[in-house]
């Protein structure tokens, strides 16, 4: 596929899958509240239109440069994460260090979400930003080790080589802990589900507190886009990319991405919010040793199967 | 030829961003802006490393430095007296002498860089630059990594010792026998 | 983009960092000056690797060591500042004089 077409196609896929996640989320909410699933219930467009025309609120002395940079940053980070995911046969950015690039993009989120919290010049928003950093410190090391496991199994940091190395046995079979921790970290860096404390309702929306209009739309869309990018990255890393019988590769990849995405959407409202200080203990005392053991097991498998 | 021109233009841009934002760190009033100006400077240095074929190290510089700047921002806001830059204030001492020492250092170092007869290039970059550093730190330079590991462990311990306000006697009582521990946050795994 | 150009950039970063480290009153801003100096060292190490000895991993290992040094220096710097702050509500280098004289 022509490289020129690939970037707009990838953005289109990102937008489409984000829309799927929004609609699925609204459907689950409606079912949980006992309401019927009508188009008015499921369609996000009235809310989007409302946010687009809403007048922008501001506080007394916000740091507008930092605030808007942070707000726009979530979507930019999601798009850059998607740049290393193979779409069909080709990749937008065939980096030899694709896995580390994904890690770099999710670290940029540390800066962007904190800037959103700081720029608003509001106490609750700042507390939300600090909560995000506390959570991020807890999940970052497990995420790095969970990303190391498929790289060790494939002896490469290039995402396409990780897909090629999976062959007939997907990585999720060999390294389930890494897969579970990866999905957990995708939820965590997207302020999703049990990790929504930085945008929590006890903080009047946390980092979302003082945002309105287009900025709010960018942040809410950014969260969904990040989950989509994370789910899309999980597929080549753990679920074999486009491998599967009968259907063409891109269909399988899309189906697998949808499956992971819907799993994350279902989990979103099911689990209670985790307090960042409790999660810090879980992250360091439980997840770091677990992921290290996972990398050890993967390394032993690689050594056992070495020719 | 075209690629050379592009590389040079990108390098000049990145160098200007790195040096310019580095200088901006000490010119802005707002502490948050100073921290993130430094972060932009580091990202530009990561870009320069990418231009030098050092893919892995360039991205690692970006990862480590953005994380550090986010944590540094927390400490800046906590400890500085003018975090948002709402009041213009001057937090300098001895500015003229510092400036002259800095300019003198730059003249000496840049003069050395331009006048010294640097050795010729020995060999070429390998195909897999990341593999070279991986094999290096696991093979010939393993002592370096072991040393860094030991230093990081001692840093963790000393930083906690310095920064903790409460010792184990505060948590577990004078005879170290109180269970559960008297912590402001309940729950947890060990004592 | 030659070795000399990169070394001049590294020298500029070191000089700016030195200016910050010498002129700033606040401990945290002083540390930012030190970070800038180490930034310059990273550029210099990487350019020496590329232009002088690209077939050996030494330059890259030096960059890794410098990155670790920056992290360690920041951790200890903040721990020391926390300790000083708890002891005397002080965050300026001019006032942290308990051990002097």
Give me the tens of pLDDT residue by residue for chain A, a chain 307 residues long. 566 788 888 899 999 999 999 999 999 988 888 888 888 888 899 999 999 999 888 888 888 899 999 999 999 999 999 999 988 778 888 889 999 999 999 999 999 999 999 998 889 999 999 999 999 999 999 999 999 999 999 998 999 999 988 877 888 889 999 999 999 999 999 999 899 999 988 888 889 988 888 999 999 999 999 999 999 999 999 998 877 788 888 889 999 999 999 999 999 988 999 988 888 888 998 999 999 999 999 999 999 988 7
User: A97, A80, A88: which is closest to A147 by C-alpha?
Assistant: A97
Mean pLDDT of B131-135: 91
Question: Is the CB of A42 inside 8 Å of chain B's CB atoms?
Answer: no
A83-121 b/e (C-beta count within 10 Å ≥ 16 → b):
bbbbbbeebbeebbbbbbbbbbbbbbbbbbbbbbbbbbb
User: Residue A112: which residues within 8 A CB-CB, separation 6 or more?
Assistant: A69, A70, A71, A73, A74, A77
CB < 8 Å to B11, chain C: 1, 5
> Taking CA B43 as the corner, what is the angle to CA A188 and CA B20, rounded to the nearest 5 degrees?
140
Binary contact (A104, B70; C-beta < 8 A) = no
Structure tokens at B36: 């993130």
ipTM over 0.95: no
Res A1: pLDDT = 54
> How many Å from the N-terminal Cα to the C-terminal Cα in chain B?
66
Binary contact (C1, B148; C-beta < 8 A) = no
pLDDT class of C89 with cuts at 50, 70, 90: low
Res B69: pLDDT = 94
Q: Tell me the C-alpha distance between C98 and C101, whole Å.
A: 8
> Best mutation site among B21, B43, B56, B59 for testing chain A: the one with the most A CBs within 10 Å?
B59
pTM of the model: 0.92
Ranges A184-193, B16-25, B82-91, B168-177: which has the least confidence: B82-91
pLDDT class of B48 with cuts at 50, 70, 90: very high
Is residue A199 within 8 A of residue A71, CB to CB? The reply is no
Res A93: pLDDT = 82
Res B189: pLDDT = 65
Alpha-carbon torsion, ordered A189, A194, A197, A201, to 10 deg: 130
Of residues B171 and B138, which shows the higher confidence score?
B138
Q: Tell me the C-alpha distance between B160 and A203, whole Å.
A: 30
Q: Tell me the C-alpha distance between B80 and C27, whole Å.
A: 9
Q: Tell me the C-alpha distance between A253 and A259, whole Å.
A: 10
Res B185: pLDDT = 73
Tokens 């497990």, residue located? A142
Structure tokens at B38: 């430094």
Question: Is the CB of A65 inside 8 Å of chain B's CB atoms?
Answer: yes
Task: Tell me phi and psi for residue B88, to 5 degrees.
Answer: -70, 125
Res B108: pLDDT = 95
pLDDT class of C91 with cuts at 50, 70, 90: low
CB < 8 Å to C78, chain B: 71-72, 75, 159, 163
Does the structure show a pLDDT above 70 at C92? no
pLDDT class of B191 with cuts at 50, 70, 90: low
Q: Give domain limits for chain C.
A: 3-88
pLDDT tens for C35-72 read 999 999 999 999 999 999 999 999 999 999 999 999 99
Q: Give domain limits for chain A.
A: 3-305
Res A17: pLDDT = 93
What is the torsional sign of CA B118, B121, B125, B126? negative
The DSSP element (H or E) to which A124 belongs, if any, is: helix A123-154
Question: Is the CB of A277 inside 8 Å of chain B's CB atoms?
Answer: yes
Question: Is the CB of B57 inside 8 Å of chain A's CB atoms?
Answer: no
Q: Tell me the C-alpha distance between A38 and A30, whole Å.
A: 9
Res A295: pLDDT = 96
Res B112: pLDDT = 92
Q: C3-88 is classed in which CATH architecture?
A: Orthogonal Bundle (1.10)
């Amino acid at each position: 596929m022509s490289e020129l077409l690939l970037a707009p196609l990838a953005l289109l896929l990102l937008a489409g899958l984000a829309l799927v996640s929004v609609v699925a989320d609204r459907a689950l909410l409606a079912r949980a509240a006992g309401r019927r699933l009508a188009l008015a219930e499921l369609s996000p467009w009235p809310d989007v239109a409302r946010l687009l025309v809403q007048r922008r609120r501001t506080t007394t002395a916000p740091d507008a440069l930092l605030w808007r940079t942070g707000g726009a940053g979530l979507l930019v980070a999601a798009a850059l994460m998607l740049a290393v995911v193979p779409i069909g046969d080709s990749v937008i950015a065939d980096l030899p260090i694709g896995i580390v690039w994904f890690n770099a993009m999710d670290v940029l989120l540390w800066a962007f979400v904190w800037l959103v919290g700081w720029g608003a010049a509001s106490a609750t928003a700042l507390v939300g930003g600090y909560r995000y950093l506390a959570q991020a410190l807890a999940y970052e090391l497990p995420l790095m080790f969970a990303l190391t496991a498929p790289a060790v199994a494939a002896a490469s940091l290039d995402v396409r080589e990780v897909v090629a190395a999976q062959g007939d046995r997907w990585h999720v079979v060999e390294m389930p802990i890494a897969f579970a921790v990866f999905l957990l970290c995708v939820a965590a860096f997207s302020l999703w589900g049990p990790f929504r404390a930085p945008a929590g309702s006890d903080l009047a929306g946390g980092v979302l507190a003082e945002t309105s209009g287009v900025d709010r739309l960018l942040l809410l869309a950014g969260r969904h886009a990040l989950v989509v990018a994370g789910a899309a990255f999980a597929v080549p890393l753990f679920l074999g990319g486009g491998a599967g019988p009968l259907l063409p590769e891109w269909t399988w990849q899309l189906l697998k991405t949808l499956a992971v995405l819907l799993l994350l959407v279902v989990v979103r409202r099911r689990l209670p919010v985790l307090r960042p200080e409790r999660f810090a203990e879980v992250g360091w005392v439980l997840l770091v040793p677990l992921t290290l053991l996972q990398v050890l097991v993967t390394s032993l498998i690689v050594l056992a199967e070495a020719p | 030829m075209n690629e050379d021109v592009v590389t040079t233009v990108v390098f000049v841009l990145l160098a200007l961003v790195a040096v310019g934002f580095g200088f901006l760190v000490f010119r802005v009033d707002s502490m948050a802006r100073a921290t993130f100006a430094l972060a932009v400077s580091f990202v530009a240095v990561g870009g320069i490393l990418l231009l030098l074929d050092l893919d892995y190290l360039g991205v690692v510089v970006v990862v480590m430095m953005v994380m550090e700047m986010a944590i540094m921002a927390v400490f800046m806001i906590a400890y500085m007296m003018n975090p948002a830059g709402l009041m213009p204030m001057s937090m300098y001492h001895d500015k003229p002498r510092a400036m002259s020492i800095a300019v003198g250092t730059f003249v000496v170092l840049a003069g050395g860089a331009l006048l010294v007869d640097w050795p010729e290039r020995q060999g070429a970059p390998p195909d897999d630059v990341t593999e070279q550093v991986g094999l290096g730190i696991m093979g010939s330079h393993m002592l370096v990594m072991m040393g860094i590991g030991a230093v990081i462990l001692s840093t963790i311990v000393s930083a906690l010792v310095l920064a903790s306000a409460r010792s184990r006697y505060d948590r577990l009582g004078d005879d170290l026998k109180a269970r559960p521990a008297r912590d402001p946050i309940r729950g947890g795994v060990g004592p | 983009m030659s070795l000399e150009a990169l070394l001049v950039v590294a020298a500029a970063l070191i000089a700016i960092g030195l200016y910050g480290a010498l002129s700033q009153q606040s401990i945290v801003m002083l540390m930012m000056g030190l970070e800038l100096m180490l930034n310059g060292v990273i550029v210099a190490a990487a350019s020496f690797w590329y232009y002088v000895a690209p077939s050996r991993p030494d330059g890259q290992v030096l960059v890794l060591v410098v990155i670790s040094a920056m992290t360690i220096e920041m951790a200890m710097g903040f721990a020391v500042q926390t300790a000083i702050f708890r002891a005397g509500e002080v965050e300026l280098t001019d006032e942290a004089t308990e051990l002097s004289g």
